[in-house]
Amino acid sequence: MTALIQASGLTKYYGRSRGILDLTFEIEEGEIFGFLGPNGAGKTTTIRTLMGFLRPSAGRATIAGLDCWSQAPAVKRLVGYLPSEFAFDPGLTGAQILTYLGHLRGGVDRSYVQQLCERLDFDPGKRFREYSRGNRQKLGLIQAFMHRPRLLILDEPSSGLDPLNQQEFYRMLREVQSEGHTVFLSSHILPEVEQTCSRVGIIRDGRLVEVNEVSRLKHMRQQTVVISFPGPASPEWFQGLPGVAAVRLNRDGRELHLDVQGELQAVIKAAAAHDALSLSTQEPSLEEIFLRFYQVDQPVAAGR
């Protein structure tokens, strides 16, 4: 495979405040690459720089060998782009917007557009101002996909979609990948990236802290297990068990909070041996994973 997107030392300052700092990465043709990060990390800035809407303060990015800033019009022809908020003339209908954008791009197959509308359960007959956030997002997705671009750049694509539409959208992603096309999508939802992407880049405070296979993210996934007991509990019951990273006793002394990585068998057995009343697990949010693994004063711990 050859790299379709290449970023090298890509940096963007807004005045004196940082947008992104020194990003270097490559996206291969045909892969679905997830760009993960908490709010304000720099995902939209990266995407807008790739799209040639922002001029890098330093470094450069290319798409198919074209410079994203100096050759932006040629880059845009290769890309289907979903901005973080898709906005359009509020008086136009969805159909008018799609026709207008279709003419701008050329080569759009109307029956494919109709198919996309049906798949996402989108009614193109209403005016833009009448569309809910989710419907605006669908319209944004349809216009990004409709010319079967070589590269899709999607900023938080599933935000506002209901779970059924999300699943359909994931199928659409797999289909475009099977046609050899490439997808770069940003998200702050870890399960979404796990489900759809082959590789992931994690951005935090404007810096790329990890680029890895999605399968390796699973090693980062840690869950919190809360176990309550009929009487006083002891952290020692669980310390040292396989996968148990930390144990905390809550104030009333009858509940333990465990950070566990991987399988839970050993924890469940120990809980049963001490007559646990209940056991529940909580998946951490991406932000929590960041806080645990990428504390500001800790060195970056790849693939832990």
The residues of the shown chain that bind ligand ATP, judged by CB under 6 A, are: 14, 17, 19, 37, 39-45, 84, 188
Residue 53 or 170 having the CB closest to ligand ATP: 53
Nearest-10 crossing angle of helices 110-119, 94-105: 140
Nearest-angstrom CA–CA distance, 150 and 4? 10
Residue 39 or 178 having the CB closest to ligand ATP: 39
State the maximum Cα–Cα separation within the chain, in Å, rounded to a whole number: 71
Place of tokens 């990890």: 210
Q: What sections of the chain are H helices per DSSP?
A: 43-50, 72-78, 94-105, 110-119, 133-145, 163-178, 190-196, 214-220, 265-273, 286-293
| Minimum distance from residue 67 beta carbon to ligand ATP (Å) | 21
| Minimum distance from residue 205 beta carbon to ligand ATP (Å) | 8
| Minimum distance from residue 263 beta carbon to ligand ATP (Å) | 32
Alpha carbons within 13 angstroms on the beta-carbon side of residue 207 total 6
SS3 224: strand
| Minimum distance from residue 23 beta carbon to ligand ATP (Å) | 11
| Minimum distance from residue 93 beta carbon to ligand ATP (Å) | 28
Residue 40 or 65 having the CB closest to ligand ATP: 40
Nearest one of 17, 92, 25 to 57, comparing CA atoms: 17
Residue 44 or 196 having the CB closest to ligand ATP: 44
Going by DSSP bridges, is the β-strand pair 17-28/3-14 parallel, antiparallel, or unpaired?
A: antiparallel
| Minimum distance from residue 278 beta carbon to ligand ATP (Å) | 35
Residue 148 or 207 having the CB closest to ligand ATP: 207
| Minimum distance from residue 24 beta carbon to ligand ATP (Å) | 17
Nearest-angstrom CA–CA distance, 178 and 241? 43
Q: Are 136 and 160 in contact (CB under 8 A)?
A: yes
Residue 38 or 124 having the CB closest to ligand ATP: 38
Residue 18 or 105 having the CB closest to ligand ATP: 18
Task: Report the run of H or E that residue 82 belongs to, with start and end.
Answer: strand 79-82
The pair of structure tokens assigned to 132 is 């809910």
Nearest-angstrom CA–CA distance, 221 and 265? 16
Sign of torsion, CA 87 93 94 95? negative
Residue 39 or 298 having the CB closest to ligand ATP: 39
| Minimum distance from residue 98 beta carbon to ligand ATP (Å) | 25
Nearest-angstrom CA–CA distance, 288 and 266? 24
